[in-house]
Amino acid sequence: MNAPAGFQPNRDTQASMTEKLREEAAQGPDPVHTEPAKKQTQVIAIYGKGGIGKSFTLANLSYMMAQQGKRVLLIGCDPKSDTTSLLFGGKACPTIIETSSKKKAAGEPVVIGDVCFKRDGVFAMELGGPEVGRGCGGRGIIHGFELLEKLGFHEWDFDFVLLDFLGDVVCGGFGLPIARDMCQKVIIVGSNDLQSLYVANNVCSAVEYFRKLGGNVGVAGLVINKDDGTGEAQAFADAAGIPVLAAIPANEDIRRKSANYEIVGRPDGEWGPLFQALGVQVAEAPPLRPTPLTQEGLLGLFKGDVVGRDVVLQPASQEDMRAAGVVAKPSLEVVYEGA
């Protein structure tokens, strides 16, 4: 605030201010930090189309990483609450949202043991969602993370936190990690089919959109699940400028064991090396800024007979829309002479 006109600070005030400035200038810099760097948790959001195999990939990946000595927390952020089912042999664990509602009705607080469970070094929980037709799944995700923060989410000590999200990033709740920089990087699970790559492209578009707004989240890469060797997913990754972190084959042994809720990503198993390599890639792959494809570019990855590329759009007319035909009516427009 400016001093009133004519105001002159007295000499004692000036001397006091001068002395304070000298004391501040005499203070030395803070000592150089010599302690070991504090471990930073990698928070990674995994996206993909429903049914593409995110839960299968994450259950085996998190299990393998835990066997390699990493502290891993797996959080299911899909309203279906099926992320942890394979990890726990088909058993469903209580969700955070459902547990919170019951505890609140009983006047009791939620504690971590109510919602977080572990197996062979992997810690896992499900956010859950509203009952069918009774709420917004994305809003449920936001509410779930609010509860996690109350449970001390930012104080937990893990090497990796893996978040399993639906690829429906047009919804604010499912786009939360990208929009709010809640994770450092995104991994996409896709396959050699148009719908899964359409979702993958949407995720890349969301990342690029928020990067333009100042966000920091990037795409670490694509995991190809049920890879049949046709190459569309690889072509998408190349066009979008992201690496393929792993290609999990369309294999009957994997399908059968997964259907029986068996972990295939064991260090001593047939598929151990695949998930060991994926674990290294997940940990080390940097977050990249992708180049989303246009709709035409995405369709161009597939053969024309698969996506109907040769179809020509034909405009409809009023005659087409009315089975009984169109009756021409005289215009009611008034035309003035000399207008």
The burial class, CB within 10 Å (0-12 / 13-18 / 19+), for 2 is exposed
> Is 68 a residue whose pLDDT tops 60?
yes
| Residue 296 confidence (pLDDT) | 87
Q: Is 168 a catalytic residue?
A: yes
Mean pLDDT of 158-180: 83
> Is 298 a residue whose pLDDT tops 80?
yes
> Is 211 a residue whose pLDDT tops 50?
yes
Q: Is 114 a catalytic residue?
A: no
Confidence of residue 188 (pLDDT cuts 50, 70, 90): very high
Mean pLDDT of 90-108: 88
- How do the domains of the chain map onto residue ranges? 42-191+252-288
How far is 230 from 197, CA to CA, in rounded Å?
14
Supply the mean pLDDT for the chain.
84
| Residue 35 confidence (pLDDT) | 45
Task: Give the chain's largest Cα–Cα span.
Answer: 99
| Residue 231 confidence (pLDDT) | 94
> Is 42 a residue whose pLDDT tops 80?
yes
CA 122 to chain centre: 20
| Catalytic option among 54, 185, 226, 257 | 54
Q: Of all residues in the chain, what percent carry a pLDDT higher than 70?
A: 80
Q: What's the whole-model pTM score? A: 0.78
| Catalytic option among 70, 80, 103, 118 | 80
Q: Is 80 a catalytic residue?
A: yes
The burial class, CB within 10 Å (0-12 / 13-18 / 19+), for 192 is buried
How far is 251 from 134, CA to CA, in rounded Å?
38
| Catalytic option among 82, 114, 159, 168 | 168
Q: Coil, strand, or helix at residue 33? A: coil
Residue 212 neighbours by CB under 8 Å, 6+ apart: none
pLDDT, greater one: 248 or 142: 248
Element (H, E) at 35: none
Please state which of the four CATH numbers 2.130.10.30, 3.40.50.300, 3.30.390.30, 1.10.8.10 is assigned to the domain occupying 42-191+252-288: 3.40.50.300
For 212, 219, 294, the CA distances from 240, given in Å and listed in that order, are: 17, 10, 10
Q: Is 54 a catalytic residue?
A: yes
Confidence of residue 1 (pLDDT cuts 50, 70, 90): very low
| Residue 150 confidence (pLDDT) | 87
